[in-house]
A = this chain, B = another copy of it.
Amino acid sequence: MKKVVEIVDVIDTAKVYAELSDANSGGICVFVGAVREFTNNEEVIALEFETYEAMALKEMSKIADEALAKWSLNKVLIRHAVGEKGVEEPVVIVGASSAHRDACFEACRFLIDTLKETVPIWKKEKFKNKSVWVSAHP
């Protein structure tokens, strides 16, 4: 399977290497996004992720296809979590494998940057006394 695109409840970071590994890949680049304890010096209790799943999977699939077209990649993976995530929990994992490292580094960066721009997933930051939808307002 050249392309893995998933929305899950919990991300298992331990298995991603096996998923991206390939006899023709000299390099595998993986990015994990996780919950930080502080945003602008305010303590975050949790992040709550919501998605429009059918559309999110379509958009993630488009991003993976675009990466496969742009770079010489053997495998591509995009997996996002939904639900409430506490500090240090992984919320997204993207990765790519390729013969040489340039391609997988560039593709990995592209995957996460583009995901953040186009995939219909929304994040609410939960602080002690309030909750804020991230990026909603200027």
Contact = CB atoms under 8 A, between A and B. Distances in A.
State the number of copies, please.
2
Contacts of A104: 31
A contact patch SS: mixed
Contacts of A17: 13-14, 32, 90
A24 interface: yes
A26 interface: yes
Interface in A75-114: 87-88, 90, 99, 101, 104-105, 108-109, 112
A28 interface: yes
A105 B108 CA distance: 9
A32 B27 contact: yes
